[in-house]
Every structure is written in structure tokens, then in C-alpha cells.
Amino acid sequence: MEVASEPTAQPERLPHRVRLRTSPAGLILMGGGARAAYQVGVLKGIASILRETRRGLDPSIAQGHNPFQIIAGTSAGAINAAALACRADNFQEAVAQLVHVWENFHAEQVYRSDLLGVVRAGARWATLLSIGWMVRKSMKLRPRSLLDNTPLNSLLERMIDAPRLAMALERGHLRALAISVSGYGTGRNVTFYQALNNYQIAAKLQRVYQHTAIAPEHLLASSAIPFVFPAVPLSFDGGTEFFGDGSMRQISPISPAISLGAERVLIIGVGQLGQPGALAETDASAYPSLAQIAGHAMNSIFLDALASDIERLGRINRIAEQLSPAQQRALGIRPIESLAIAPSERLDGIAALYTNALPRPVRALLEVLGAHRGNGAGLASYLLFESAYTRVLVDLGVRDTLAHKHEVLAFLTDRREPSTAYAPKVVVV
């Protein structure tokens, strides 16, 4: 598959000067390793739409005004969320920086992909899986992860500008940045959020919130895919706990943005909502390999909760619409307008075409786990931090967004189309 040329939104004459809507908008960026390149493509599409229609828009939009007051991210989406929040004073600049990173990605920027790095981490797993049970000394190996993501620290230092984030909050360009992680000790899903106000959000269903300054270690923890990347110690609740990928046990990924005051939410997924069956290249009757099982588990962690939460939001909205404002306040519910954008193509199917772009040691490790042809595409789709793959996902995100330009404009601006305002709309499935 070749990278298609970037589609452009055609300028159009608008009947009146359109302005960004003033009701607080939340942006939900889901996790998924290298799949997060897709959400950068969606953001690129949104930036393109706002630029191309700037003649009829309020001048603040053309100047890069941030249309999302609350930004919530999980896993790789947390890194994108933080980078976007750090440049909330200029949305166009923020998106351009993200696009530059993701269109020029190499695995070595995220994890050690050289032979020595892969052997040090991955070979320990292979050893324990094969003869570790025979060797008492194997207890001392205790590998922490399949891959060593130490290089990600350097990337985060370049992408994250903490002083600029604080300034964006102080000047009103942003209301809150929320990052979700999962605690291995307590089993709680924790949302760390940075905002001028401490919202004192009540804990619900193993989900708690902590007001703090977001730092690179929070992003490392949120993006620590289980088994693949090591857990990260964070200060929490007066002590220290090891945390991993925020998508684990996150039963309500939309909740952090709503809890922080969002009245409408734009949700960017990294997988088709309502996944079809197996890839054509796989033999459904054959016993699954470890790589196949791992890919299936990751799909469950990263994709299923979002689809369920969108359905749940739809039910709550339908109930809220039948109640009076007084009844809504008494029950503590309110209708939330939402727009969800998800890939129009299977990302694991795309990944199957680009597995050869992975560094040779990483490919060899995946083959040990049983990844061959389409069988390891699911797992590979999360680890393929290579520009050959990420550029295709960015381009897909742009195309999917521009294909629904009118819905995006209706969500972001006061240019409203007659529709059911509070019914969650999944514009790409």
C-alpha cells in the first residue's frame, strides 16, 4: 500500500461569520501504541478544515485558537494529549508538531530495537517460557517487559513543555489535561489531571482522580502496554505504586472529560467500532499463536471499553432527554453531545502489509511468539512505530475526517445542522 497524497478540504462560502462554540468541549484520545498515529491524522484533518474555511470563521480560529478546553488521553493517546495541551495556545502549531513526529517515526525512538536491547529484554521471556521452569536460577531473571522503552524518555522531553502547559492553563487556553493509568497494586484506574482548580471528583467503580502536575513519568505509565513495556512507579495517595497502561480496567474512557466539565466530547478511537471477524490471511480453524492471543487481548483492552461507553452514553442521553432540568439535577445526569471518529479500515490489516518495516531483531522476536503472515498483525499493529506504517494511518485519519467535514464543523462551531443534538454520532464505523 502506498501513502496516498493528502486530501484537502475545499474552501466554501459560509452564510455568516462562524465562531467556535463556547460550551466546554472535551477531546478523548484513546490508547493503542502505534495505532495512535490515526488520531494524529484526525487532528490534522480538523486543523485542515479550520484553515480552509477561515474566510468565514472568527479570526481566532485562523490564529490557532484551541477548540478543546478539556483534553483526556490514555496510553499512547496520553502522549498525544499532553503534546496538544502543551501548545493549547496555538492548535495549528500543536497539530503540526504531532504530525511531524508521527510521520517520521522509527521504533528506536520508543523502544530499544537493536539486537542487544531486544535480547536483553525479550530473550529472558523466551528463556523462561522454554526452560525456565527447570532452572532454579531463572527466578533471578524476572524480566520486567518484552521490550525496553527507555528511548521514549528522550522523545517525551522534546515533545512536552511543562512551563508552556502551565501558562496555557493560566491564560485560559485550556481548562484541564487528564491522563489515565492503571495501578498494579490496588487495581484502581487513576486519572491524574492538571488544572487550575482541584475539582474534588468523587471516586466511582475503582476509578479515582488526583490533581497534580502532569510529568513525563505519568505518560510513561499510561503508555506502558502490559507485558510489552515496564510498569512505572508514581506518587499516589501518600505513597508509591507501580502503574501501567491506562486502558486496563478503564470501563468508562469518556468519563474523565465529562467529570472535568465537558458538555460535548469528540472521541477518536484507534480501531473499528464493532470489529468484523478475522483477517482474510488468518486460518480461524488453526490453534492461535502467542502473538495472535496477545493481539486479541490488546484489542480487548484498547477497543472494547470505548464501544461500550459510547453505547452507555447513548442510553443515558435518551433517559436525560425525557427528564426536566430539575429531574436531571436531582439524578445527577445531563445530556452530553458527542461525535466519535474511528478508522474506516482495519488497522491490523494495514499493519500486516508493513511488518517488514520493523527492525529485524523485533521481527525475529515476534516470530518466536508465533507471528507470521497475518497471525501477528494484531500485535504488530501496536508496535509498528515506523513511518511506513504511521504515515498511512495519519493519511487514513485525514481522509476519514474530511469525509465528514460538515459533522466536524457542526460540533466545533455554531454552524449547526438540524439533527438530534445529544444523540452520540459515530461518523465512521
Residue-wise pLDDT for 223-247, tens only, equals 998 888 889 999 988 899 999 998 8
- Judged against a pLDDT cut of 60, whether residue 416 lies above it is answered with no
Average pLDDT, the chain: 82
The proportion of the chain whose per-residue pLDDT surpasses 90, expressed as a percent, equals 44
Average pLDDT over residues 315-332: 86
Paired sense of beta strands 176-183 and 189-195, if any: antiparallel
At residue 284, the pLDDT reads 65
At residue 71, the pLDDT reads 98
Better-predicted residue by pLDDT, 309 or 303: 309
Q: What CA dihedral angle connects 203, 188, 24 and 174, to 10 degrees?
A: 120
Contact 305, 253 (CB under 8 A): yes
Average pLDDT over residues 14-34: 82
**What are φ and ψ of residue 56, in 5° steps?**
-100, 5
- For 335-382, write each residue's pLDDT tens digit: 899 999 999 998 988 988 998 898 888 888 777 777 665 567 888 888
Q: Give the predicted TM-score (pTM) of the model.
A: 0.86
Better-predicted residue by pLDDT, 425 or 28: 28
At residue 2, the pLDDT reads 38
At residue 14, the pLDDT reads 45
Question: How does residue 35 score in pLDDT terms, banded at 50, 70 and 90?
Answer: very high
**Cα(347)–Cα(181) distance, integer angstroms:** 24
- For 78-97, write each residue's pLDDT tens digit: 999 999 999 999 999 999 99
At residue 333, the pLDDT reads 83
- Judged against a pLDDT cut of 80, whether residue 16 lies above it is answered with no
- For 148-185, write each residue's pLDDT tens digit: 889 999 999 989 999 999 999 999 999 999 999 999 98
- Kindly give, in sequence order, each residue whose CB lies less than 8 Å from that of residue 28, ignoring residues fewer than 6 positions away: 72, 73, 77, 253, 254, 257, 265, 266, 267, 268
Q: Flag the least confident range among 248-262, 293-307, 339-353.
A: 293-307
**Cα(421)–Cα(188) distance, integer angstroms:** 34
**What are φ and ψ of residue 29, in 5° steps?**
-110, 110
Better-predicted residue by pLDDT, 374 or 402: 402
- Judged against a pLDDT cut of 50, whether residue 1 lies above it is answered with no
**What are φ and ψ of residue 181, in 5° steps?**
-135, 165
